[in-house]
C-alpha cells in the first residue's frame, strides 16, 4: 500500500517568512510532485521531480522552489511567504522509471495560511 505523508496538516505563517513543506513516500517512486489546490481552480502543478536532485517547473512555479536530496523526500520551499500563497498544498508520487504506470498517489495535504 503506497503511503505518501506530509509533515503538517495545518500551518500558519507570517508574511515574509521562509516556509518548508515536506513530503515523504515509502514506495521507491521515481517521480514526485507538488500541487496547490484552490476552490474553483482545481489542482495546479507547481514543481515536479523525476530523480534525485532533478527538478522541473510546473505551471505555477513563481514564488516557490523545491529540493530533492533523497529519493523518498521532496520539499517545497516558499522563500518569502505571501498572503496569495494561502492554499492547500498536495504532494504526490508516481512510479516512473521503466515500468509505465502513470498513477499518482497523493498525500493528505497541508493547509497553509499566511497572515
Interface residues with other proteins (CB under 8 A) are: 30-33, 35, 40-45, 48-50, 56, 58-59, 90, 94, 96, 102-104, 106-109
Q: Which is nearer to other proteins, 81 or 110 (CB)?
A: 110
Q: Which is nearer to other proteins, 40 or 83 (CB)?
A: 40
How far, in whole angstroms, is CA 102 from its chain's centroid?
17
Q: How far is the CB of 50 from other proteins (least distance, A)?
A: 4
Q: Which residues, including other chains, have CB under 8 Å from residue 64's CB and lie 6 or more apart?
A: 34, 46, 47, 76, 77, 78, 79
Q: Which is nearer to other proteins, 15 or 101 (CB)?
A: 101
- From CA 67, how far away is CA 65, in angstroms rounded? 7
Q: How far is the CB of 104 from other proteins (least distance, A)?
A: 6
- From CA 100, how far away is CA 87, in angstroms rounded? 32
Q: How far is the CB of 53 from other proteins (least distance, A)?
A: 14
Amino acid at each position: 500500500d503506497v503511503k505518501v505523508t506530509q509533515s503538517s496538516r495545518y500551518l500558519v505563517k507570517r508574511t515574509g517568512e521562509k516556509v518548508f513543506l515536506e513530503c515523504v513516500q515509502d514506495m521507491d517512486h521515481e517521480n514526485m510532485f507538488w500541487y496547490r489546490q484552490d476552490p474553483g481552480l482545481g489542482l495546479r502543478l507547481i514543481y515536479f521531480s523525476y530523480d534525485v536532485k532533478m527538478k522541473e517547473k510546473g505551471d505555477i512555479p513563481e514564488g516557490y522552489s523545491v529540493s530533492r536530496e533523497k529519493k523518498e523526500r521532496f520539499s517545497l520551499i516558499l522563500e518569502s511567504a505571501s498572503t496569495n500563497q494561502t492554499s492547500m498544498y498536495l504532494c504526490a508520487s508516481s512510479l516512473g522509471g521503466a515500468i509505465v504506470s502513470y498513477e499518482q498517489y497523493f498525500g493528505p495535504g497541508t493547509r497553509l495560511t499566511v497572515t
